[in-house]
Amino acid sequence: MIKSVPGSVRGAVAAVRVCVFVVAGLALLTWPAAADTTIFRGTNSPIVRVTLHQGGVMIRTWDREEVQIDGDSSLTIEQRTSVLTGEPVAMPIPATSSGPDEHALGLPMESFVPGPIPAGARDVVLVHDSPDVDPGVPSGDVVVTVPSDAVFVFAATMHGNVEVHDYRAGTLVAMVGAGKLTLASVGGIAFVQSRRGPILVRDSDFDRVRARSLFGSIRFERCRVRQIEATTGNGSLVYEGGEFEPGLARFESERGNVAIGSNGPVQISARASSDGHVFTDFARGAHVEGDSGDAQATVGNGGPVVTATSRAGNVLLYDGLLRAHPRLQGQWRAPFATPPQAIELPHHPPRRLMPRPVGHRPPPFVRPRFGAEPFGAKFHR
């Protein structure tokens, strides 16, 4: 079903049934034989929010002023117009834990401040499960293509994977309950969280990013960040092949390893508990001080300050990629009681659930301005 909604005529909907078959290489990916496509035309830097109970979510961008949703006909899709004041609104992030006992792992409640959204009327597109559908019944995967200048994108699923590609213009919030979360070529400001499953971020450039996982690893590959705070409960934390710009950079794991491999000058302060150690191996040389539990490494002439802490694992410091340092690979320790689905997974390229829209052209990179005027949204578990 293709439903096209022009920006000037909200009530006019043209419906044509189409069959969508997706073929990626030689593999046929699962998708409804008759999928619904809804298009909202004439959107101006919209806000897009997608929330599912069971099903995968893919967010991608194009250079049109249109929002396109490809998904199951059972989904509820709405378009609204909101008038925003431009006043700062912090977004509350609910707490989550592995259980009620004193030894349980937990992520505390915190607030996240999204980037600025100018005051005035704003198109808002909402995609969510229908209230008439049993939450235990999977709604299938949904692909949402947003304008490259969308100011705020929220994508969340309780059971399923979330993928975000090429979104750089505003604030991204992505959350999964149980599944894998993948970001590729993303920029701007972001909050990402997984309760049970890995987070993988590739080839991205952030002004500010907050990442946290309860059961699952977090891995940044070939990224550049100005401000980053990453936390894992039971899972390892890796940032390698990337660079840091001056700003906050903090990595902390409760029961996993922390590995930092920088391509540029940096000052790293590392600390491991009595159950772990700090290991260093810099092929291009570095000045290292301290001992096996508390060490400081200055790479090059020094640069942004990075802190790395593990309470029950090892901390590994190096330059470039870990695979280029075989001496350190033997110091990698599996997190305690890690569920099988949360162990480091093979890093295959993210699969494409749907072909790219006709006429898609990658948007030019525009570094978003860092500001303090946010827009808030809340994900209810």
H-helix or E-strand containing 328?
helix 326-329
pLDDT tens, residue by residue, 59-105: 999 999 999 999 988 899 999 999 988 887 899 998 888 777 656 78
Against a cut of 0.85, is the pTM above it? no
pLDDT digits (tens, 9 = 90+) for 176-226: 999 999 999 999 999 999 999 999 999 999 999 999 999 999 999 999 999
Band (pLDDT 50/70/90 cuts) for residue 292 is confident
Average of pLDDT values for 109-116?
93
Distances in whole angstroms, Cα of residue 180 to Cα of each of 132, 217, 315, 349, 353: 27, 10, 24, 13, 15
pLDDT score, position 209 = 98
pLDDT in tens, 39-52: 999 988 999 999 99
Q: Sort 290 into a burial class: Cβ within 10 Å, 0-12 / 13-18 / 19+.
A: middle
According to DSSP, residue 331 is labeled T
pLDDT digits (tens, 9 = 90+) for 258-288: 999 999 999 999 999 878 899 999 988 889 9
Q: What is the CA radius of gyration of the chain?
A: 21
**pLDDT score of 18:** 26
Reported as type and span, the H/E element at residue 329 is helix 326-329
* pLDDT tens digit sequence for 150-162: 999 999 999 999 9
Six-digit token string for 32: 């409804």
Mean pLDDT of 301-305: 90
Percent of the chain as helix, strand, coil, to the nearest 5: 5, 50, 50
What percent of the chain is modeled with pLDDT above 90?
A: 59
Residue 326, helix vs strand vs coil: helix
pLDDT at 332: 79
